[in-house]
C-alpha cells in the first residue's frame, strides 16, 4: 500500500470512529476451506484449503480457527443462511445449544448440539422440514468445532424496490424554487474571483446541476454559460476538466460530498466546498 493510500485509509478509520463506528482492520489470516458445508443433509467439506481469509484480530480467540461457507436452509431458525461465512473454533467442548460443525462417516454438516434427558447426543436442525440426527447412529463421529461467529452474506435489494422508495420520498419533497437567468448570471460573476484554476468551476457546475439550471453532465452548455458571463476570466472551464472531476462523491449533489471519497482532499476539497457554498448563497439571496 502506498503512503498516500495508508494516510487515506487511516483518515477513513478516524472519521468512522468520530461518528461512533468501531472499525476493525482485517489483519489476521484464517484458513478458508473450499467447499460449502451443508446445513441440510451432511456433505463433504474437503481437506484442501482454498485460500486464507483476513479477519480482525479482535474476532479471533486463543484456539485454532477456520472459516467455511454455509449451504442450505436447515439452520435458518438461528439466522444461518446459504452463503453466510461461519467462523469455527476447534479444540473446544460443545455445549447444549451450540451450533457445531460435525464430521459423520466422512461427511460434514452444521447443526445444533443437544443431549437428551438420558445423555445421548443429537444434532438438531433449526428448520422443522428436517429431522434431528442421533449421533449414535453413525460409526465415526467427530465434533470438529463450534461456530463462534456468523458473517452474513451481503444483502441486496432489487433496483425496482429502491426506485419505488426513492419515488415516494421525492413526492414528499417540496418543489424546488425556479432560478432565474438573472440570478444565475449574477452568481457566476460573484463567485468567479474564488476560482483559481479551471477545474474549480466544477463546484459552480454542480450547484447549477443540483438546482436544475443545467442538465447532468451537460458540461458544454455550462462552459458556454460561464464564458458568456466572465469572458475575461483567466481560468475558464473546459468540458474535459469538468468531466474528470465528476467522479466519486463529486458526482453527487453538493450536500453529499465526502472528503474521504472525493477526487481531491485537504485544502483543495475545502476550496471546492467554499466555492459551491458561495454559489448557492448567491443564488438563494
CB 43 within 8 A of CB 60: no
Residues 143 and 185 in one domain: no
Predicted confidence band of residue 26 (pLDDT cuts 50, 70, 90):
low
Residues 240 and 146 in one domain: no
Residues 145 and 25 in one domain: yes
**Residue 167 belongs to a domain:** no
Residues 122 and 29 in one domain: yes
Task: Report the 10 Å Cβ neighbour count for 147.
Answer: 23
Q: What is the mean pLDDT of residues 96-108?
A: 88
Residues 124 and 192 in one domain: no
Report long-range pairs for 4-8 (Cβ below 8 Å, ≥24 apart). 8/260, 8/265
| Percent residues over pLDDT 90 in the chain | 48
Q: Is pLDDT of 18 > 90?
A: no
Helices (H), ranges, the chain = 3-18, 159-172, 181-191, 201-210, 219-229, 239-245, 266-284
**Residue 23 belongs to a domain:** yes
Per-residue pLDDT at 167: 82
Residues 239 and 200 in one domain: yes
**Residue 2 belongs to a domain:** no
Q: Is pLDDT of 52 > 70?
A: no
**Residue 198 belongs to a domain:** yes
Residues 119 and 23 in one domain: yes
Q: How many domains does the chain have?
A: 2
Q: What is the mean pLDDT of residues 175-190?
A: 89
**Residue 189 belongs to a domain:** yes
pLDDT tens profile 108-147: 889 999 999 999 999 999 999 999 999 999 988 989 889 9
Positions annotated as catalytic residues are 74, 111
Residues 21 and 132 in one domain: yes
Residues 187 and 147 in one domain: no
Range of the domain at 192: 179-284
Spatial separation of the C-alpha atoms in residues 148 and 146, rounded to whole Å: 6
Q: Is pLDDT of 41 > 60?
A: no
| Percent residues over pLDDT 70 in the chain | 79
Residues 49 and 102 in one domain: yes
Per-residue pLDDT at 42: 43
Per-residue pLDDT at 13: 66
Helices H / strands E in the chain, number of each: 7, 10
Residues 44 and 117 in one domain: yes
Of 234 and 52, more confident: 234
**Residue 5 belongs to a domain:** no
**Residue 163 belongs to a domain:** no
Task: Report the 10 Å Cβ neighbour count for 98.
Answer: 17
DSSP assignment of 238-253:
-HHHHHHHS-GGGGS-
For residue 69, give the CATH number of its domain: 2.10.109.10
**Residue 11 belongs to a domain:** no
Amino acid at each position: 500500500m502506498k503512503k498516500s493510500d495508508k494516510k487515506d485509509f487511516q483518515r477513513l478509520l478516524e472519521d468512522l470512529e468520530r461518528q461512533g463506528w468501531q472499525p476493525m482492520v482485517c489483519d489476521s489470516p484464517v484458513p478458508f476451506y473450499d467447499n460449502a458445508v451443508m446445513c441440510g443433509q451432511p456433505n463433504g467439506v474437503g481437506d484442501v484449503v482454498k485460500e486464507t481469509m483476513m479477519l480482525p484480530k479482535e474476532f479471533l480467540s486463543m484456539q485454532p480457527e477456520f472459516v467455511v461457507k454455509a449451504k442450505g436452509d436447515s439452520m435458518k431458525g438461528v439466522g444461518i443462511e446459504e452463503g453466510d461465512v461461519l467462523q469455527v473454533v476447534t479444540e473446544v467442548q460443545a455445549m447444549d445449544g451450540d451450533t457445531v460443525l460435525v464430521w459423520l462417516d466422512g461427511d460434514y454438516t452444521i447443526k445444533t448440539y443437544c443431549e437428551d434427558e438420558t445423555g445421548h447426543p443429537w444434532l438438531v436442525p433449526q428448520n422443522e422440514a428436517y429431522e434431528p440426527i442421533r449421533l449414535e447412529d453413525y460409526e465415526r463421529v467427530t465434533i470438529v468445532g463450534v461456530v463462534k461467529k456468523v458473517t452474513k452474506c451481503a444483502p441486496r435489494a432489487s433496483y425496482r424496490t429502491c426506485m419505488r422508495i426513492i419515488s415516494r420520498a421525492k413526492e414528499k419533497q417540496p418543489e424546488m424554487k425556479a432560478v432565474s437567468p438573472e440570478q444565475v448570471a449574477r452568481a457566476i460573476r460573484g463567485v468567479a474571483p474564488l476560482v483559481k484554476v479551471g477545474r474549480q468551476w466544477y463546484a459552480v457546475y454542480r450547484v447549477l446541476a443540483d438546482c436544475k439550471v443545467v442538465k447532468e453532465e451537460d458540461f458544454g452548455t455550462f462552459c458556454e454559460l460561464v464564458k458568456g458571463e466572465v469572458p475575461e476570466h483567466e481560468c475558464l472551464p473546459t468540458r474535459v476538466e469538468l468531466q474528470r472531476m465528476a467522479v466519486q462523491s463529486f458526482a453527487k449533489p453538493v450536500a453529499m460530498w465526502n472528503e474521504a471519497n472525493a477526487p481531491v482532499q485537504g485544502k483543495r476539497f475545502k476550496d471546492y466546498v467554499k466555492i459551491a457554498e458561495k454559489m448557492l448563497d448567491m443564488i438563494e439571496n
